[in-house]
Amino acid sequence: MLTKSSNSMSKQIILSVAVLGLSVLIIIALKLTAPENNPERQAIAPVRVEPFIVKRVNLQPDTRITGRLQPANRALLRFETSGQVMQRQVEPGIKVQSGSALISLQTEDAQDNLIDAVARLEMETAAIRRDRRLLEIAGRDLILQQQEVKRLQQLGSDSLVSASRLDQAKQKLLQLESSQARLRYSVETANSRLDSARAAKTRAQRALDRTTLRAPFSGTVNTVNVETGDYVTPATVAAELVDLESIDLYAEVGGTAAGALKLEQAVEVEIAGQSYRGHIIALRSDPDPKTFTHAIRIRLESAGLAPGTLASVRLPLQKQNDVLTVPVSSMLQEDGTSYIFVIDGSSLVRRVVRVGIRDGDQVVITEGLQAGDRIVSRDIAALSNGQRIEVAE
C-alpha cells in the first residue's frame, strides 16, 4: 500500500514540474517576440481643407416671418343703452347684412319718450305760428293806439275829460308796446326753440334705435352672449361679428424689415404649401416698447381661408450693394465674438470679424475680411489657430 501511494505522488510532482517548465518557455517566447517599448513618434498629418474665395456681390436679402390668419373685420358689439333683452334674432354662424337686427331690447319707455318729443315739437311749431300772427295784429293795434294818443294830444288839456282819456290812451299804448315786445321775442327765438324741439325728437329717436343691436358691416355672427330676459348694460359684450370674406395675416417684424416695407406693397403668403397673393395694408412705424418689433397686417386677396391658420411670408429687405459675403457654415461663434479661419499658405489664421445681415445661408461681413481672402467654408469646429493644412485646390 505504501509503494502505490509513493508512485502516485511522484507522478503528480513530475506533472507539475512539466507544466511549470512549459509556462516558463511560453513567457520567454513572448518576451523575445514583443515589439520595442519606445517607438518613434509619428508626425501629425495636415488637415485637408477646401478654400472659399471672398468676393464682393450685390445682395437682395429677405426675411421670412410667421403669423396667424385673422378676419379682416372683427367687432365686439355692445348696446349703447341699458335694458332687458326682448328678442334674440340671430345665432352663431348666421351670415347677416350690414344694418341687420341682431338683438332687441324692450322699447316701451323709448317709444313713449319719442311720442312726447314729437308732440312737443308739434305744439312748439303751432305756438310759433300763433305768435307770428299775433305780432302782426299787435303791430296794427299799436299803430291805431298811437294815432289815438296823437289825436287826444291835439285836443288839448283844457278839459279834465280829455286829460283822463289821454292818460288812458297812453297806458293802453304802453300795454300794446309791452305785448308787442313779448311777441317779437317769441318770434325772434322761434328758430332756436324749433331746433331744441327737433334735437329732443332726434335724441328720442336715437334712444329708440339703440334698443336694437344692428350689424355694423356684413359678416358672420361668431358669438351671441345674451339670452332673452337678460339685463344688459353698455359694458356687456352682447355679440361678436366677423367678416370672413377677407382674411388678414397679422405678424411682427424687426426694425430692419420694417424700414424696407411700405403700404400697399405686394407680397406672397404661403399657407399649407400653397401661395397666395396679398398686400400690406398696415405697418406700425413706432415699435412696441416691450418687444421692439413692428406690427404688420397683410390683406389676402383670396377668400375661403380659415382664421387661426398658420401662414408665413417672405419680405424683401433693403438691397445691399458691393458687400462681402461668406457662407454661414464658415462662422465660428465663441463668447459672442465671430471668427473665420483664413488660409495663410499652409496654415490657418483665426481672425475676428464683424457681421452684418444674414440672407439664407450667406452672411455679410462688414469688417475683418477683404475681397480675395481665402477662408475655410465648412467643417470648422475642430480647427485651431496656426494649424497646418493642405489646401484642396
Strands 95-96 and 219-224: antiparallel
Q: Count of CB atoms within 10 A of residue 198's CB? A: 14
Residues 6+ apart with CB under 8 A from 89: 100, 101, 102, 103, 104
What cell does 142 get? 299799436
- Partners of 283 in the β-ladder: 296
Domain 109-208 has CATH 1.10.287: yes
DSSP assigned state of 305: P
Helices (H) and strands (E) in the chain, counts: 5, 22
Q: Nearest to residue 350, comparing CAs of 364, 333, 363, 372?
A: 333
Tell me how far CA of residue 104 lies from CA of 132, 137, 238, 285, in angstroms. 44, 52, 11, 41
Contact 348, 385 (CB under 8 A): yes
pLDDT (0 to 100) of residue 1: 45
- Partners of 68 in the β-ladder: 250, 310
What are the boundaries of each domain within the chain?
51-59+320-391, 109-208, 245-316
pLDDT mean over 212-230: 95
Q: Nearest to residue 57, comparing CAs of 323, 268, 258, 239?
A: 323
C-alpha 328: how far from its chain's center?
33
Which helix (H) or strand (E) covers residue 312, if one does? strand 310-316
In which band, very low, low, confident or very high, does the pLDDT at 118 lie, cut at 50, 70 and 90? very high
> What span, in angstroms and rounded, lies between the C-alpha atoms of 211 and 190?
32
Burial bucket for residue 103 (CB in 10 Å: 0-12, 13-18, 19+): buried
pLDDT mean over 68-80: 92
Q: Nearest to residue 207, comparing CAs of 305, 117, 93, 327?
A: 117
Q: Specify the CATH architecture of the domain 51-59+320-391.
A: Beta Barrel (2.40)
pLDDT (0 to 100) of residue 42: 53
Mean pLDDT of the chain: 85
pLDDT in tens, 309-343: 899 998 887 888 888 889 988 888 888 888 898 98
Residues 6+ apart with CB under 8 A from 86: 104, 105, 106, 107, 228
- Evaluate if residue 2 carries a pLDDT over 50: no
Q: Which fold has domain 245-316?
A: Elongation Factor Tu (Ef-tu); domain 3 (2.40.30)
pLDDT (0 to 100) of residue 29: 66
- Partners of 278 in the β-ladder: 267, 300
What cell does 34 get? 514583443
Of 95-104, 108-117, 234-243, 357-366, give the lowest mean pLDDT range.
357-366
Q: Nearest to residue 213, comparing CAs of 233, 187, 184, 192?
A: 233
Q: Do domains 51-59+320-391 and 245-316 have the same CATH topology?
A: no
* Total residues found in the chain within this entry: 393
Contact 265, 250 (CB under 8 A): no
pLDDT (0 to 100) of residue 260: 83
The number of CA neighbours under 13 Å toward the Cβ of 123 is: 7
Q: Nearest to residue 341, comparing CAs of 307, 310, 383?
A: 383
pLDDT in tens, 239-258: 999 988 889 999 998 887 88
- Evaluate if residue 35 carries a pLDDT over 80: no
